[in-house]
Amino acid sequence: MENCIFCKIINGEIPSNIVYSDDDFIVFTDLNPKAKLHYLAVPRKHFATLNEMTKEDEQMLGRIMGKIPTLSKQLGLSNGYRLIINQKGETGNDAEQEVMHLHIHILGGEKLGNPNGK
């Protein structure tokens, strides 16, 4: 997808610190980390949000989730981690998704506090 930062990272047009890569997705460090360790797991296929997901995408996302437990150990997250998907909606962007290429934040490496509730 033209003008998509994450597609450009996947294609190697923009440099990034890739820590894992397979046929389904790549994982790289976030440019502006919100925790001591902050990775982004990004499907190679461009789709903006979960709203555009197909049956095939569901299976691919399942495979990605299945790899995260093993990956987390390699990435220094044996003490636990937090996964976040910021999701733009049809009528607004309450979660403030910034990059319109679906991605899973993987955060950890320190105590994160409990984000439940306000």
Residues with a catalytic annotation lie at 103
**Is 109 exposed, middle or buried, given 0-12, 13-18 or 19+ CB atoms closer than 10 A?**
middle
**Smallest distance, Å, CB 96 to Zn ion?**
18
Residue with CB nearest Zn ion? 4
Residue with tokens 């987390």: 72
What tokens appear for 47 in the block?
A: 């789709």
- Choose the contact partner of 46 out of Zn ion, ligand 5GP, none; CB within 5 to 8 A by kind: Zn ion
Binding region for ligand 5GP (CB under 6 A): 5, 14, 16, 28, 30-32, 40, 86, 96-99
Binding region for Zn ion (CB under 5 A): 1, 4, 6-7, 46, 101
- Choose the contact partner of 32 out of ligand 5GP, Zn ion, none; CB within 5 to 8 A by kind: ligand 5GP
**Smallest distance, Å, CB 17 to Zn ion?**
18
Cβ closer to ligand 5GP: 33 or 62?
33
**Smallest distance, Å, CB 14 to Zn ion?**
11
CA dihedral 8, 100, 25, 12 (to 10 degrees): 10
Buried b (16+ CB within 10 A) or exposed e, 24-59: bbbbbebeeeebebbbbbbbebbeebeeeeeeeeee
